[in-house]
């Protein structure tokens, strides 16, 4: 994981996101999109011989992305000094993971979502032994997925659905009854491409 923080910066103009899976889609005209900044934490839990990724399932009562599997995170507030700060703040608010267990390693390339967000994924290593305190208004559950499962391209399925009468393509990584797909799977796919491909 630490190798990612030392990897060279992206080439100018290279942007990751849903548009890579949907080239030419009118919803993703990057030159005209008004993107809202957001940040998420990619919490890789160091269990020694087996690393896992901590994910959440969003509350069924939320207005947007109801019930979807996600990384902890959210919109960047005007008072947030950095995306790393946003990711840690949102993680504390959503699942109560204390900062003392989190070691921020670096930031992944920004990810453009079809819903109009410019997401800064913040990669971190989490020490085991923490206890979570889930905010039921935002999160229904939190669970861990083996990193080796998520970094195995055999588990990266391409799928699509109709969205406003146009086909929308995305990755999907089902695991133990949880549907990991959309932006979350896209960020995981980016992590795979950067570290393992």
- pLDDT above 90 covers a percentage of the chain that reads 62
- Homologous superfamily, domain 2-145+158-195: Nucleoside Triphosphate Pyrophosphohydrolase (3.90.79.10)
The answer to whether 152 and 146 are in contact (CB under 8 A) is: no
Domain boundaries, the chain: 2-145+158-195
- State phi, psi for 163 to the nearest 5 degrees: -140, 115
Is the separation of the CB atoms in 108 and 42 below 8 Å?
yes
Q: Who has greater pLDDT, 27 or 53?
A: 53
- What's the pLDDT band for 68 if we cut at 50, 70, 90? confident
CA 4 to chain centre: 16
- Alpha helices by DSSP H, the chain: 2-5, 83-95, 147-150, 182-195
Q: Which residues make Cβ contacts (< 8 Å) with residue 180, sequence separation at least 6?
A: 55, 69, 145, 150, 172, 173, 174, 188
Residue 3 has pLDDT above 60, yes or no: no
Spatial contact of 87 and 73, defined as CB atoms under 8 Å apart: yes
Burial bucket for residue 62 (CB in 10 Å: 0-12, 13-18, 19+) = middle
What pLDDT sits at residue 92?
A: 97
Contacts of 40 (CB under 8 A, 6+ apart): 70, 71, 72, 73, 74, 87, 90, 119, 120, 121, 122, 187
> Per-residue pLDDT averaged across 187-193, rounded?
93
Q: Is 61's pLDDT higher than 80?
A: no
Task: Provide the pLDDT for residue 20.
Answer: 80
Q: What is the pLDDT of residues 101-123, one digit of tens each?
A: 999 999 999 999 888 899 999 99
CB within 8 Å of 148: residues ≥ 6 apart: 50, 51
Nearest to 150, CA basis, from 42, 4, 41 = 42
Q: What is the pTM of this model?
A: 0.88
């Amino acid at each position: 994981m630490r190798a990612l923080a030392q990897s060279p910066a992206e080439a100018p103009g290279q942007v990751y996101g849903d548009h890579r899976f949907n080239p030419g889609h009118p919803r993703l005209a990057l030159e005209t999109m008004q993107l809202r900044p957001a940040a998420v934490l990619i919490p890789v839990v160091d269990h020694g011989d087996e690393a896992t990724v901590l994910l959440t399932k969003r509350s069924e009562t939320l207005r947007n992305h109801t019930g979807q599997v996600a990384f902890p995170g959210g919109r960047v507030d005007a008072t947030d000094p950095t995306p790393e700060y946003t990711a840690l703040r949102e993680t504390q608010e959503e699942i109560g993971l204390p900062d003392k267990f989190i070691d921020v390693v670096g930031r992944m390339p920004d990810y453009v979502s079809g819903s109009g967000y410019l997401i800064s994924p913040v990669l971190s290593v989490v020490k085991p032994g923490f206890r979570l305190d889930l905010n039921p208004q935002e999160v229904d559950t939190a669970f861990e997925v083996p990193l080796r499962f998520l970094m195995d391209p055999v588990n990266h399925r391409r799928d699509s659905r109709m969205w406003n009468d146009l086909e929308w393509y995305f990755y999907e990584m089902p695991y133990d009854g949880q549907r990991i797909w959309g932006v979350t799977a896209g960020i995981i796919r980016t992590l795979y491409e950067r570290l393992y491909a």
